[in-house]
Amino acid sequence: MLYSLILTDPELSYENHSEDFFIGIFATRQKAEETACYYLGNLPGFCDYSCTYRIEEKEVVDNSDNAMPVSVWIVQGWNVNDNFDEIDILESECFLTEERAKAELKMMKETSARSEWNIDRLTVGECRWREGFVRDI
């Protein structure tokens, strides 16, 4: 099991859109929580506004020996609304190979209508969003 950390600015979220910041995927829930606390207490934007976080458990598919992977592949699909915000986000579990992620992408496209698709390689423990943010006012 891996743990995906997402921070959210609820004041910029509306209807079907959540203003989310994907931080990274972690080997333990504790590491994800520690990272969330660091971001919410120290990085501009995250510590300036009433941001929240959530941790989503992600299964590593076909990991029969339960070894902790260095990196994983994930498939995402989404639509874009009139404000050019990503909505209806759909995300797969984690895969050990790009080939397996591509096979999942094909299956997901057959069952879920989304305008945009992406396959991404994530390094376990790496923070993808490294800086804070500033609101456009």
pLDDT of residue 137: 60
Mean pLDDT per 10-residue segment, the chain (137 residues): 95 87 97 97 92 96 86 96 91 95 96 95 94 79
pTM for the whole structure: 0.89
- In three-state secondary structure terms, 39 is helix
For the chain, the domains span 2-123
Strand boundaries in the chain, DSSP class E: 2-8, 20-26, 52-58, 60-61, 71-80, 86-91, 94-95, 116-123
pLDDT of residue 132: 84
Contacts of 72 (CB under 8 A, 6+ apart): 2, 25, 58, 60, 94, 95, 96, 121, 122, 124
Q: How far apart are CA 55 and CA 78, in angstroms?
A: 20
